[in-house]
Amino acid sequence: MRSRSLPRSSRHKIMHHEDKRFIVFLLRHCLFGCIGGVILGALVLWQDLHGIGTMIFASPDRELCLVLLFFGFFITFGSIGMAIGVMQLGEERD
């Protein structure tokens, strides 16, 4: 029995220009948020808030602690950056 396949034009969907623009828009806002997360993480370590910098750098697993700290800031602030960008797309209605 022959298997049915989609027509050649349906198999390879090309991303439209508007879709590419929106993805670049989201990635740009995510990058801005991640940069903010790096700055905040560096400030937390530099100011040694509640001794967290001292604890991390005294730990034998300092690399893992730094990765987890900055990964959390990347995810949080990258998501906030994208959310702000998406919310600014809307039009105000009175």
Would you place residue 19 in the very low, low, confident or very high pLDDT band (cuts 50, 70, 90)? confident
The first and second tokens of residue 50, run together, are 């509640």
Decide if pLDDT at 10 tops 90. Answer: no
- Tell me what pLDDT residue 27 has: 95
Q: Are 43 and 77 in contact (CB under 8 A)?
A: no
For residues 76 and 1, what is the distance between their CA atoms, to the nearest angstrom?
51
Q: Comparing 21 with 94, which gets the higher pLDDT?
A: 21
pLDDT one-digit tens code per residue, 29-77: 999 999 999 999 999 999 999 999 999 999 999 999 999 999 999 999 9
Q: Quickly count: other Cβ atoms within 10 Å of residue 77's Cβ.
A: 21
Domain ranges of the chain: 30-86
